[in-house]
């Protein structure tokens, strides 16, 4: 089928189109070569699984540090490096430097890209000056800078091939997410949910940087690229003005729904998947309605941007449960049938499994037993509230009104999981999920909107669930049934992306700075090593010179760095923290380092 498509392109349409198909084919081919790591999640299905198996459950205990690299930046280091051929590409938080390191020559720096950005973008970045990484295609490295410049660099020289502005930091629009290449386009989201940005995903031409389409999260149908008759939600057409009808007046223009998370792509269905974030402001009373399509999973055609289906997980958000986390695409059996699935661990504490072709909701279950704001999702297809979460009144910050302090809501605004991506192993058919185990008090109040200024409208206190001391868990999850298979306690939130390998080993980092390896079947800890700073980066693996390597960025920060690094420091401070609990700052300090591991 794929060959046929290439043939048609070559014979009938323009040469440009042929090139575009090649770029896509190149990426699919490279992502199937386990020796390389060519996109943020390792592959289009976003499984973060590698078929490399030199490192196994039996020998991982002997793992050693092979080499290290300092990024020279002391901020939150999210994302992971890429490996394309013999070169590793490492990105940093603001100022968003990029290094190309020669794997044939002990990591010698082949080139360095150092953008000049106005530092006034720093304070309009909500939660530290993080950047979630690079993408590769067609001999180019793509970077989305803090100031929203999307830049294409020559992978060999670091020379800028083209650059384009994706937004205006003066309005609070910033760049933190990794670009994502599909065919002849580079897709990129935008950040600014705490600044009242009308957020979007935009596709740029891979060769030139020319803007091809832009799909907003909220607004009129022609801005959100919906076909009222063909775009569906839970199997039904969404109808005309599906977004506008759920906002008061013009509020959608400052509606948020930001797109700062991860994307996945199914080449066979030709659909790209991503989620949108919180509606602005955090005070739900000020924005009546469902606020569509914030907090939504989108399935779009990457050629045109048109939405095939959508599912809003948290209508009328009252807790800042952004829906941007990764969408993991798997083919598994449910009820004796092989289904094309999409699994998503939402900030709201529910793990969703949907049919990724139709958007049918199959599973929606809590992946942290402490989640209390909802009693579950209505799964009755004939119910008028089908697919909606049932909100528990006690924890409804809308029902309890402005100036009311809602206590003990779980999860906290950080979510049961934030952007740190989970992994999926086809061998065990389990998802490996880094989670937060944090609850909150939430008090909303009125705010007014000023362009480029924070637009928050609530005050929050965060703490571990009552009677518990661990603020994180690392869990194995069965997406077919929606059940936790095993769960390891972590003292702090696990804010690091997981890696699954065919060696039967799963890796993740911790906020104290440990890289940990656990048995994929049982969760038993097999290895740990303390890196120089807390880990909020994602673990990746590659092979070079016949050896399997595992790499991760250290550098504490991000929202975890705000909420925790400066947060719960005093065991007796009355925030609900239990005695003996001590703050992260007793364990780690700022840093910026890549650590690469291998067997001796």
Partner 1 sequence: MEVRVAMIGLIALTLACGTGATRADGSGDPTAATSEDGKYFDKAGNPTYKVQEDGAVDWYTYSGFRRYHSECHVCHGPAGDGSSFAPALKDSLKRISYADFLGIVASGRKNVTTAQENVMPAFGDNRNVMCYIDDIYVYLRARANDAVGRARPEKHDDRPEAFAKAEDACMGFKP
CB of 120 closer than 8 Å to CB of 128: no
Which CB, 182 or 460, lies closer to partner 1? 460
Q: Based on C-alpha coordinates, what's the Rg of the chain?
A: 22
Minimum separation from the CB atom of position 91 to partner 1 (A): 17
Burial class (CB in 10 A: 0-12, 13-18, 19+), 364: buried
CA nearest to 291, candidates 283, 280, 299, 300: 280
β-bridge mates for residue 390, sequence order = 376
Minimum separation from the CB atom of position 123 to partner 1 (A): 4
Specify the pairing of strand 307-312 against strand 296-300.
Answer: antiparallel
Contact residues toward partner 1 (CB under 8 A) are 74-76, 94-95, 119-120, 122-124, 126-129, 194, 282, 405, 441, 443, 445-448, 450, 453-461, 556-557, 561-563, 565-567, 569-570, 573-575, 590
Cα 27 to Cα 139: distance, rounded to the nearest angstrom: 11
Which CB, 297 or 447, lies closer to partner 1? 447
β-bridge mates for residue 207, sequence order = none
Minimum separation from the CB atom of position 495 to partner 1 (A): 13
CB of 280 closer than 8 Å to CB of 193: yes
Cα 267 to Cα 343: distance, rounded to the nearest angstrom: 17
Which CB, 119 or 220, lies closer to partner 1? 119
Cα 456 to Cα 479: distance, rounded to the nearest angstrom: 34
Cα 362 to Cα 350: distance, rounded to the nearest angstrom: 13
Count Cα neighbours of 537 within 13 Å in the Cβ-side half-sphere: 36
β-bridge mates for residue 476, sequence order = 432, 486
Neighbouring CB atoms inside 10 A of 118's CB total: 10
Q: Is 346 labeled as catalytic in the residue annotation?
A: no
Minimum separation from the CB atom of position 573 to partner 1 (A): 5
333-360 burial, b if ≥16 CB within 10 A, otherwise e?
Answer: eeeeeebbbbbbbbbbbbbbbbbbbebb
Which CB, 36 or 400, lies closer to partner 1? 400
Specify the pairing of strand 149-154 against strand 160-165.
Answer: antiparallel
Which CB, 172 or 389, lies closer to partner 1? 172
Which CB, 447 or 475, lies closer to partner 1? 447
Cα 218 to Cα 273: distance, rounded to the nearest angstrom: 17
Which CB, 88 or 440, lies closer to partner 1? 440
* CA distance readout (Å), 11 to 89, 185, 570: 36, 21, 69
Minimum separation from the CB atom of position 457 to partner 1 (A): 6
Which CB, 364 or 447, lies closer to partner 1? 447
Q: 128, 320, 346, 368: which is the annotated catalytic residue?
A: 320
Task: Give the helix, strand, coil percentages of the chain, each rounded to 5.
Answer: 10, 35, 50
Minimum separation from the CB atom of position 461 to partner 1 (A): 6
Cα 118 to Cα 124: distance, rounded to the nearest angstrom: 12
Minimum separation from the CB atom of position 204 to partner 1 (A): 28
Catalytic residues: 320
């Amino acid at each position: 089928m794929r060959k046929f498509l290439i043939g048609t392109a070559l014979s009938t349409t323009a040469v440009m189109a042929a090139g575009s198909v090649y770029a896509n084919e190149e990426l699919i081919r490279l992502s199937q070569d386990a020796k390389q790591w060519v996109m943020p999640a390792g592959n289009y299905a976003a499984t973060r699984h590698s078929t490399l198996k030199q490192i196994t459950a039996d020998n991982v205990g002997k793992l050693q540090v092979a080499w290290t690299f300092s990024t020279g930046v002391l901020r939150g280091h999210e994302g992971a490096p890429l490996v394309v051929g013999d070169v590793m590409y490492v990105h940093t938080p603001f100022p968003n430097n990029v290094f190309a390191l020669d794997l044939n020559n002990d990591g010698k720096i082949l080139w360095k890209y150092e953008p000049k950005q106005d530092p006034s973008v720093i304070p309009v970045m909500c939660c530290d000056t993080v950047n979630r990484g690079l993408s590769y295609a067609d001999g180019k490295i793509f970077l989305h800078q803090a100031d929203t410049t999307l830049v294409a660099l020559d992978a060999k020289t670091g020379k800028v091939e083209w650059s384009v502005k994706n937004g205006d930091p003066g309005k609070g629009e910033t760049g933190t997410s990794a670009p994502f290449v599909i065919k002849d386009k580079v897709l990129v989201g935008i950040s600014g949910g705490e600044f009242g940005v009308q957020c979007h995903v935009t596709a740029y031409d891979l060769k030139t940087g020319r803007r091809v389409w832009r799909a907003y999260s909220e607004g009129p149908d022609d801005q959100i690229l919906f076909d009222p008759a063909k775009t569906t939600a839970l199997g039904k057409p969404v109808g005309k003005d599906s977004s506008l009808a759920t906002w008061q007046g013009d509020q959608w223009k400052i509606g948020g729904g930001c797109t700062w998370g991860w994307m996945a792509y199914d080449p066979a269905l030709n659909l790209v998947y991503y989620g949108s974030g919180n509606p602005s402001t955090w005070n739900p009373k000020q924005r009546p309605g469902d606020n569509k399509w914030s907090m939504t999973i989108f399935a779009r055609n990457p050629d045109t941007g048109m939405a095939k289906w959508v599912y809003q997980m948290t209508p009328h958000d009252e807790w800042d449960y952004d829906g941007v986390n990764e969408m993991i695409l798997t083919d598994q059996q449910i009820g004796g049938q092989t289904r094309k699935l999409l699994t998503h661990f939402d900030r709201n504490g529910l793990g969703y499994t949907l049919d990724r072709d139709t958007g049918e909701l199959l599973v929606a279950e809590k992946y942290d037993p402490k989640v209390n704001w909802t009693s579950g999702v209505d799964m009755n297809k004939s119910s008028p509230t089908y697919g909606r979460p049932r909100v528990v009144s006690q924890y409804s910050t809308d029902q309890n009104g402005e100036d009311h302090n809602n206590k003990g809501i779980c999860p906290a605004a950080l979510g049961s999981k934030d952007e740190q991506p989970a992994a999926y192993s086809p061998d065990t058919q389990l998802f490996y999920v880094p989670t937060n185990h944090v609850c909150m008090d939430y008090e909303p109040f009125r705010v007014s909107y000023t362009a480029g200024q924070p637009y928050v409208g609530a005050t929050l206190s965060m703490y571990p669930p009552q009677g518990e001391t661990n603020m994180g868990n690392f869990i194995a999850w069965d997406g077919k049934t929606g059940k936790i298979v095993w769960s390891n306690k972590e003292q702090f939130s696990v804010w690091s992306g997981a890696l699954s390998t065919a060696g039967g080993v799963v890796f993740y980092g911790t906020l104290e700075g440990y890289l940990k390896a656990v048995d994929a079947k049982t969760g038993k800890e097999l290895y740990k090593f303390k890196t120089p700073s807390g880990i909020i980066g994602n673990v990746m693996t590659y092979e070079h010179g016949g050896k399997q390597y595992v790499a991760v960025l250290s550098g504490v920060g991000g929202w975890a760095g705000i909420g925790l690094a400066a947060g719960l420091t005093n065991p007796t401070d009355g925030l609900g923290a239990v005695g003996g609990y001590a703050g992260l700052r007793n364990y780690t300090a700022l840093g910026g380092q890549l650590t690469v591991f291998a067997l001796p």
